[in-house]
Amino acid sequence: MRALVAAALLLAGAAAHGQDRAAVTVVDSLGRTVPVPGRVDRIISLEPEITRILVALGAGERLVGIDYFLRHHDHLFPLVFPKGSSLPLVSNQAQELAVEEAVRLRPDIVFSSPSEFRLAESIERKLDVPVVALASMGRFDGLLGEIRTLGRIVGREERAAALIAYFEETLRSVGRDSPSGRPAESRPSVYLAFWGSLVRTPVSYDPVVAAGGRNSASGLLPDHLGAPGATIPLEKLLVWDPDVILVQGNYPPEDRRVSVGSVLRDPRLASLRAVRSGRVHYTFGYWYWWDPALVLVETVYLSRLLRPGGGPGFDLAAEGDAVFEEFYGVEGAFSALCRILACHEWKTR
């Protein structure tokens, strides 16, 4: 099965690769209408989330330049696309795009982040190639729309549709098993300690909602801003008194500035319901927005954690590996990631 998915990805990628198709026009996350040539053989991607989706679509072979984050800081990407480690870097922390290197790579298209709203126009002027700015902005509908748009651009519409269908079906099965259909007030309230801080939290986080929880910080900032983080005064956390606290675990243990243990030991938090009941757990969280497979695994994982009464334990590694195989056709990628993140220490019930 695994070999079949991998082979299918490769064959489909090769088949679409080099085909001349009609030019398409897409509307990106900045609302820009961008005409894209029918033949997209050479891709530069400055947005890690897009790069991951391109690999999942089977268009990884067409990447000719990637962002520094994936090379230097992402422990997941080398597991799902080892060839990425030999691709030229076209950016670094201080430089959004190494223009001369980008020119040398002769891209047909450049993908960028809508967070850098002037970057797309700037690159387009300098390189005279179409630039599409896309991101999920931390929303499932945004992620699925991004997969669909990228599928159109690289001529992998069917693969995109298959991934979207798989994603939606998994969400539906999660919904059947979780209390997401229950009224908001009867769902467990969840506080997310993200970005290496106890007091920084995303004001919307779809995996929690899909898994049947209620984000305590929901509505703290206007929704139209995407999914920005807010910093809260610590006593706000005591006001919310959440049922569950989730700590971002997408860092290797040695890099975590906030851990489940530090939350449980913090005397200022001792009166919290989540701390008293021991419902402080890791979750994955953002990693330059999302990896489409990882966020799906996260949603499944959270649905088990938030299930009323805890429910039976489950094999996180096995479920994760299955999702990763579906997306990347790579065997054991999630298990390998879990070894880096020490997921075996995470509670799964």
Partner 1 sequence: MSGRHDSRTAALTVLAVVLPLALLVLALNVGAYRIPPKAVFTTIVGAVFPGAPEAGPSPYADILFRIRLPRLLLALFAGAALAVSGASLQALFRNPLVFEFSLGISHGAAFGAALSLVFLGRSVPPQAAAFVFALVAVLLVVAIAGRSPSQVVTVLLSGVIVSALFQALLSMVEVFADPYALQSLVFWLMGSLGQATWGDLAVTLPVIGAGVAVLVLMRWRLNVLSLGEDEARSLGVDTRRDKVLVIALAALITAAATAVMGVVSWIGLIVPHLVRLAVGADNRKVVPLSAGFGASLLLLADTIARGAAPFEIPVGILTSIVGIPFFIVLLKRSGRVWQ
**Residue 238 contacts partner 1 per CB under 8 A:** yes
# chain residues binding partner 1, by CB under 8 A: 31
Q: Which is nearer to partner 1, 20 or 254 (CB)?
A: 254
Q: What is the spatial distance between Cα 192 and Cα 331, in angstroms, rounded to a whole number?
A: 30
| Number of CB atoms found within 10 A of residue 92's CB | 14
Q: What is the spatial distance between Cα 212 and Cα 173, in angstroms, rounded to a whole number?
A: 12
Q: What is the spatial distance between Cα 349 and Cα 346, in angstroms, rounded to a whole number?
A: 9
**Residue 50 contacts partner 1 per CB under 8 A:** no
**Residue 239 contacts partner 1 per CB under 8 A:** yes
| Binding residues among 139-198 for partner 1 as defined by CB under 8 A | 195-197
**Residue 312 contacts partner 1 per CB under 8 A:** no
- Judged by CB under 8 A, the residue of 236, 273, 307, 347 near partner 1 is 236
CB of 239 to partner 1, least distance (A): 5
CB of 289 to partner 1, least distance (A): 12
**Residue 233 contacts partner 1 per CB under 8 A:** yes
**Residue 254 contacts partner 1 per CB under 8 A:** yes
> Token match 């996180």: residue?
316
- Judged by CB under 8 A, the residue of 92, 122, 218, 335 near partner 1 is 92
Contact letters (x/-) for partner 1, 54-73, by CB under 8 A? ---------------x--xx
**Residue 334 contacts partner 1 per CB under 8 A:** no
Q: How many CA atoms within 13 Å lie on the side-chain side of 4?
A: 2
CB of 294 to partner 1, least distance (A): 16
CB of 220 to partner 1, least distance (A): 6
- Judged by CB under 8 A, the residue of 40, 54, 110, 232 near partner 1 is 232
CB of 94 to partner 1, least distance (A): 4
**Residue 93 contacts partner 1 per CB under 8 A:** yes
CB of 203 to partner 1, least distance (A): 8
| Piece of 97-105, 156-164, 179-187, 267-275 that binds partner 1 (CB under 8 A) | 267-275
| Piece of 30-38, 54-62, 136-144, 262-270 that binds partner 1 (CB under 8 A) | 262-270
| Binding residues among 210-229 for partner 1 as defined by CB under 8 A | 220-221
**Residue 230 contacts partner 1 per CB under 8 A:** yes
The residues of the shown chain that bind partner 1, judged by CB under 8 A, are: 69, 72-73, 92-94, 195-197, 199-200, 220-221, 230-236, 238-239, 251, 254-255, 257, 267-268, 270-271, 288
